[in-house]
Amino acid sequence: MRDPEDAPESTDPISADVIRCDACPVLCRIRKGQSGACDRYANADGRLFRVDPLVILQRTLDSGGKFVPFLDPKPWNGEMIPAANTFVTGIGATTTYPDYKPAPFIVSSKSAGVDMVTVVTEGIFSYCGLKIKIDTDRYLGPEQAAVRVDGEQVGHVTTAEYGSQMLALGGVRHLTGGSKKEGNVTCEAMLKLSNKQAVELAIDGGSKVRVQAGAAPIVNGEQEERMRVGCGSATIGIFAKQWFGHCDEVIVVDDHITGVLTEHQAGRFLDMRPGGIRVRGRKSTPGRYFKVAEPGMGWGGTNITKPLSIIEKIDPKIAWPGMRLLMVSTTGEDAAWFVLDRDLKPQPAAMPDAVKRVVERIAENCEPALCSVLFMGGAGGSLRAGVTENPVRLTRSVKDLFTRVTCGGAPVYVWPGGGITVMVDVLRMPDRSFGYVPTPALVLPIEFTMTRDVYAEMGGHVGNIVALEEVLRTTRHEVRSA
């Protein structure tokens, strides 16, 4: 990623050898054979040229005549592709900056006999961020802690969700509201993550984590394998009947809710004899305990490595010698078997095969630990002027479901409320979908699809509509399976 000051500018006046790129506010002056600061536009013999081709998505048919994504593995042979089942994305389309211009491509086509229009552009997003979901119980850092790349804050730790730690990265404050270095580092990290590349993040007061969309997180150099099957209470509920008859007590260690089988409603349902073991922490409801330990890299996302340390007391009026105790984590990665001696002290013992099978089943029911990267940005600004002269009508049309929004052909979630705030899973987008401009901001392909009548009613740039066949005939493009 290049800095705006590294842009190929010249003190020479604009001439046959130097052209000005107006694709973003940087306004690079580009000499022949060179590209601008974003590496997306170049000077080809005095003509501003989009380096990457326009990406076309083509659906293929199965033997029953149904459309099936990725059915045809054969590469495109260079022949003209049919317009049917073809979708023009915003990837490689160019931008509408300055936004008084109509979108680069306003494409007409037919779908099931209905006249459709797809408005295609590459939007420049300063108001954007990433939501990162990391499947792990490991302690990444305190909520609200700064997340850093190369020492610069690029986001923060946000509220954890069920079995996952969550980060919020980017946003206009980090892109444009801090130092120049902070903005550039934030933009580069977001660009890599959005394009499915790996980035090393450091969390204040916590861990270092390597994040890549669709890949397992690597926390402090160790790759995570499993996402927990549930909290300690949920694990008790799932496996109680399978433990019944093989264990006298089960404690499922979890940073959030530690479960104790014989106290738990599941144990009571099975008429299990109370075990008399009280664990540390705050009792929530029977068999469910909060804060048995501090968060960490140990059992169940706690800081403990010796599971017996969470036992506060064993009631001699209830427990008995020979009582069988299983302690296990919510992923099954950690498990230990104990038998109480005559003094009611838990002694390590060989785990019975029947109990091992249930522990292995916990692991079997854990999904693979993965990182998810969701791009979120506001498309309710000036790029709408490339669609219509009356932008609020586009917003209303999207909210009323007359207009469908996609990013690189991928479906998006449109947030309720004002504006067009979209969220998209980057894994569902084609490779290399994202670009950047050194303002700094990310460039996102975005498409608005509606019927031709709806487009005309919203005051769209009807005079700029081009038939899909014409786009395919006259525009350098790359065909990918949809």
What residues does each domain of the chain span?
4-50, 232-364
Model confidence band, residue 69 (pLDDT cutoffs 50, 70, 90)? very low
Tell me: pLDDT of 450 over 60: yes
Q: What is the mean pLDDT of residues 15-33?
A: 87
Mean pLDDT of 416-430: 96
Q: What are phi and psi of 49, to 5 degrees?
A: -135, 125
Among 97-106, 269-278, 362-371, the least confident range: 97-106
- Mean pLDDT, the chain, rounded, equals 91
* 253 touches 162 (CB < 8 A): no
**pLDDT for res 3:** 62
pLDDT in tens, 217-271: 999 999 999 999 999 999 999 999 999 999 999 999 999 999 999 999 999 999 9
Asked if 256 and 290 count as a contact pair (C-beta separation under 8 A), the reply is yes
Q: Is the pLDDT of residue 124 over 60?
A: yes
- The whole-model pTM stands at 0.89
